[in-house]
Structure 1
């Protein structure tokens, strides 16, 4: 049997690249962006320095690639929810559940991203330039914007009151989601947690 050498090489290359990204996920999640080193990632990935720099220019580019490749499928999920035929209020609950599921898996890494974007890194300051922080902030704006789109749809269909500030409510929902994950308030039944968050944000808790 003959093997296509180019296919084998491509497969090996993809595996090695993914191995580096997997190692980067562990190191960045544990140590934060500032204290993590490329040497630690190299050691964990069991590869050479030249191999890492063959795929990634520097530590920041490796970090950004890791964030991008983890977030892109999630953004696709959000898009599908926004464009689905669900009723707007059900979409809110579905999108909250999607956020909870994503952050449950990526909590430690995204905690690092948030620290850097907000300018309060592990050492008390952001290690990113303003331009770099804006680049990561754009991801949060896009994802929160998906929640806002659903809320606007709800307003247009009369399911949500006209005076609702969709942008502020979207940010409020996002804050509750992130806090719930980071504080371990998410129950084993993520759907139940999504329902409770949606009920609380949309209807409140006070008896009238």
Structure 2
């Protein structure tokens, strides 16, 4: 009985290590081959593990991508969930500009993995559903910030927070994909300033 816990802990550690090896291998292969050309066999070979072991952790390449998507988006969530409690319109504009610029810069730094994601969204139902879930999480957070600003008398009270939040996120989403496809037509700071001016000009009083 004394050895049960150490043995269990050892198995758990090896299981976690195998899972991480599969994720790292998947990230490498996805970045090299793209979503469509990547196969689960390539990932398993790169991870140097067996098929049976791999399928204990993941059902296929779609499942692996979903977990990698969550890892990438965690950094974007951290930006969206920064404290937001402005006491003036000027402070709100400054906070919003900083968030927007950080979001765009992160999209640029994560371009390769986001290219894989964009390709997957076009062909994978699970990737489409995951992106829809991601979008709603951002919109919910933005809505909270708008509601706060309205409660402080900084933003127009007659506007529906969720509708405004959707428009704000969709503009970010459009530029995110432009950055991913290297199709943006201005530097990131100019884009962030423009988005912030349009958004705060329509929302704040």
Kept in 2: contact 1:27–1:41 (CA 8 A): yes
What TM-score does the superposition give when structure 2 sets the normalisation length? 0.69
Q: Specify the SS of the correspondent of 2:41.
A: helix
Residue 66 of structure 1 and its aligned partner are, at CA, apart by 2.2
Q: Specify the SS of the correspondent of 1:47.
A: coil
Q: Whose helix proportion is higher, 1 or 2?
A: 2
Give the Cα–Cα distance (whole angstroms) in 2 for the partners of residues 157 and 199 of structure 1.
Answer: 24
Residue 154 of structure 1 and its aligned partner are, at CA, apart by 4.5
What TM-score does the superposition give when structure 1 sets the normalisation length? 0.69
Residue 197 of structure 1 and its aligned partner are, at CA, apart by 2.8
CA root-mean-square deviation: 3.6
Instruction: State the 4+ residue runs in structure 1 displaced beyond 6 angstroms.
Output: 161-165
Alignment of 1:27-176 (within 5 A): 27-72=29-74, 74-79=76-81, 81=82, 83-86=83-86, 87-117=91-121, 121=122, 126=123, 128-129=124-125, 133-147=128-142, 149-151=144-146, 153-154=148-149, 157=152, 159=154, 166=164, 167-176=166-175
Residue 71 of structure 1 and its aligned partner are, at CA, apart by 2.5
Partner of 2:203: none
Structure 1 stretches of 5 or more lacking a match?
none
Partner of 1:7: 9
Change over 3 Å in CA distance of 1:203–1:162 after alignment to 2? farther
Partner of 1:202: 196
Structure 2 stretches of 5 or more lacking a match?
199-205
